[in-house]
Structure 1
Amino acid sequence: MLQIKVFCAVCAFRSARRKAFGFVERFVRLKRYAIGIAMAAAVGAAAYWYISRPAPVTVVKPKRGDAAEIVYASGVVEPRIWAKVTPTVRERIVEQCNCEGERVEKDHVLARLDDTEARATRGELQARLSLAQEEYRRKLALSARNTASVQEVDRARTEVAQLEALVAAQQARLANYVLRAPSAGQVLRQDGEIGEVAELGTVLFWVGEPKPLIVTAEVNEEDIPRVEVGQRALLRSDAFPGRELEAVVDIITPKGDPVTKTYRVRFRLPDDTPLRIGMSTDVNVIVRQSPDTLILPSGAISGKRVAVVEGGDVRLREIETGIRGTGGVEVLSGLEETAQVISPFPAELAEGTRVTIAGGSGN
């Protein structure tokens, strides 16, 4: 009987322990479920907040200013009156004036080239001419005594005429060995040294008047229809950073260059311009100008649409634009001066999307 009671007690203990363990397992399982549900709820709440949160945007307000439609070109400062002096024969320089920066008169000798060989050729031709003339006189004398035919006299006269022409041509060639000033003016630049060989086409002297000055520029053929004589132009030069210089369209060359597809345009500079001969400049021809107009950055406009912030939502507006430049776009209508325009244009945001302005109001 004692063994039976002990066995029953052990069984009761084991049963109670199993019940206790089962309760603990259910508790742990319920706790895990509760934690999982809480985490899922937190993730869902975070996802909902992320999806429904206002999108941050940056805005700008239209600003008033002067809008200008311009045509761009690059040019070089040149004298209005000037000429290049180049040799027409390839020969060594034997004499050269030291006259850079000085005024010279027309036909002033600037340089001489070695004409030794050319003079020798002229001497040979003159000697042949003397012999031909003597032979012609002798034939005339013989013809007078009827001992020379008319044909012989004619041949002698023809040879004399030919040699006279050759001597005259050689004398004219000798003039090419002397470089002279084509007109009165200042020697603006002088190149080459005594002893150097002057190559054909090499400019040795620039002679002209230092004033007035012009800017010669090349304008693309698609822009030239908008350029007219008398238009104002703004110039920029690296020699005068931050300083705006002015010029006026003076001459438009009627014929363009079919290779470069450009037209040459000359701009008249004022007498007090600080620009110097040979300086390069950026030329901005003002085709049209609108003073005190609304201007928006180019990036804030997509076609003719802008996105504005109204009551925390995105609203799309159709606007009418005018002059488009590198600094912005002229707004003719469809936008108030106080509008908060999203910039850059938010192509990914739809109408009515909630937004928040990042970094202030865009003033």
Structure 2
Amino acid sequence: MKLANVQIKVDENNVKDRKKQLKLAKIQIEVSRNNVKDLEANLKDILRRLKDEETLFEQGSSTRSQLDVLQLQYLRGEIALKNTILGLERAMQEIDRAKLNVDNSILSLERSREDIKGSELSVENALIAVERSSHDVELSEDALEDTLIKAKIGGIITAKSFQEGEVITAGAVLFQIIDIKQVEIKIQLGEGDLPMISEGQAVVFTTPGYRDIEFSGIIERISWTADPETGRFPLYVKAANPGLKLRAGMSAKVYLLRQK
């Protein structure tokens, strides 16, 4: 756009210069025409004097030298008139070229203005295309967002209820996910042991897979109702999973730590 504006400025200056040249050419033509008129009048006067001088010379009242002077003046006047007429013709040709230069400069200026209009239109079209592309991106992102399924917790998918391409009904369970950063251990506790435990109490436990490692945890909650089959109360231990060694389905031996 800046380059186009510079070109328009150059073309405008060219038009001004060509118009000045045309004006000067017209002035030069007018000067040449006046010179032709003056030379023609002067040449007529010399011719009149020359004829008078020839008559006097024939009558013996004038000398050859006087006649020669007038003849020389007339010859010089003719040459000056011819040169001036030739200059006038050249000036006429020059004014034609000057007019053509003005027309060409105006045409170039109009082209430059059309070019900048075209450039501005291209910029506007490009901006519209960018807006459309941005809108399309937003629509695509929204459509992509609709295809994403987000779980409330992070973890590992242990079961998948549907395959790709199947129709899913509202409220259907799609996956089973476990959070492997922490584990939950379910313990069956007899009624007589309930007074010795409380929520938040610390425990340690071991697993057959890692016999030499003691894992730490706390009692997260104690069920208010007993299991009808065993008569025992479910107790749930929450523990961290350092190194992600513990896996779902592993057995564990839990040791309750007495409260001080």
Question: TM > 0.5 between the two?
Answer: no
Structure with bigger helix share is 2
**TM-score, normalization by structure 2:** 0.34
Normalised by the length of structure 1, the TM-score is 0.25
Higher strand share: 1
Bigger Rg, which one: 2
